[in-house]
Amino acid sequence: MQKDKQIKRVFILGMDGAGNFIQNTDTPNIDAFLSKGAVTYMAQAQSPTISAECWGSILHGVVPERHGLNNEIASTQTYPVDSPYPSIFRLAREAWPEAKLAAFSSWAPIVNGIVEEGLGIHKEALPDDELVSAIETYIEQNNDVKLLYMQLDDPDASGHKYGYGADSPGYLKAITRMDELFGRILRVIEQQGLLEDSLVILVTDHGGGGANKHDHGSDHPMDKNVFWGCVGPGVSAGTALPDMFIVDTAAVALHALGLERPADWDGKVPANLFG
């Protein structure tokens, strides 16, 4: 990546419940992509290691005790548009009233209950394969998108069904399938000429299988340790991230977009990330 290019947009591409188990199965698209930038397999999920708490921290930049989200709240309520802990979408909308912002999620509570309503954000909630097709179409038709988020669900669903971990073939197969879908999104970003001036973040919210083979939520390393990586202008290939937390994702996205991180956020930009 050319370091002198300005970042014009941010893509946050996530899969649910994958932990750091992409190391234990075939993920050729993700591996090849992250070899161009920064990556860690020891980023730390938030506690408790549950989807709403963790995606809430990824998108709002604060720990769960502050954003107040859990699965029940996200499934039944909309996030307060006047919360003192806004999402990156609200901050982007305040900075750019006319910018194109998009959130795509297989787990509907993310787009309905974690990302604020009423901000003119393009939102879709569909099963994984249909969601990726919708994202491909959206990117092809909206080259000027400023911020796009994606969450795919099958690793988490497969972990609950087959068990999480390196010794669970059904779970690992789901992660490999996600790699194919990630590859489609990365290809359309490249085909549309957006890769060289975009920051692309790849992330998961939590792992699983620590305290309970078929569940997550604990502070066991299998639940807490997750992969996190990004590629874009200013990020050197091989950059290590020794102290990365998923709550830092929001701060990284804001920095890339040229926006100021709220002073009271828990998330921070790793000191060495942008060289």
Domains of the chain: 9-257 (3.40.720.10)
% of the chain at pLDDT higher than 70: 99
- Which residues are CB-contacts of 151 (< 8 A; sequence separation ≥ 6)? 14, 15, 16, 55, 104, 105, 106, 107, 110
Instruction: Please state whether beta strands 145-152 and 122-125 pair in parallel, antiparallel, or not at all (unpaired).
Output: unpaired
Query: What pLDDT, in 10s, does the model give residues 78-100?
Result: 999 999 999 999 999 999 999 99
Q: Residue 4 — very low, low, confident or very high, per pLDDT cuts 50/70/90?
A: low
% of the chain at pLDDT higher than 90: 98
Give burial (CB, 10 Å; 0-12/13-18/19+) of 71: middle
Q: Residue 275 — very low, low, confident or very high, per pLDDT cuts 50/70/90?
A: confident
Quote the CA–CA distance of 49 and 52 in Å, as a whole number. 9
Find out whether 224 and 79 touch, Cβ atoms under 8 Å. no
| DSSP conformational letter for 228 | E
- CB atoms near residue 224 (< 10 Å): 22
Cis previous bond, 109, omega within 30:
no
Exposed e or buried b for every residue in 31-40, given b needs 16+ CB within 10 A?
eebbebbbbb
Please report where in the chains the tokens 């393009």 appear, as a residue.
122
Residue 271 has which token pair?
A: 């000191």
Query: What pLDDT, in 10s, does the model give residues 131-175?
Result: 999 999 999 999 999 999 999 999 999 999 999 999 999 999 999
Residue 68 is predicted with a pLDDT of 98
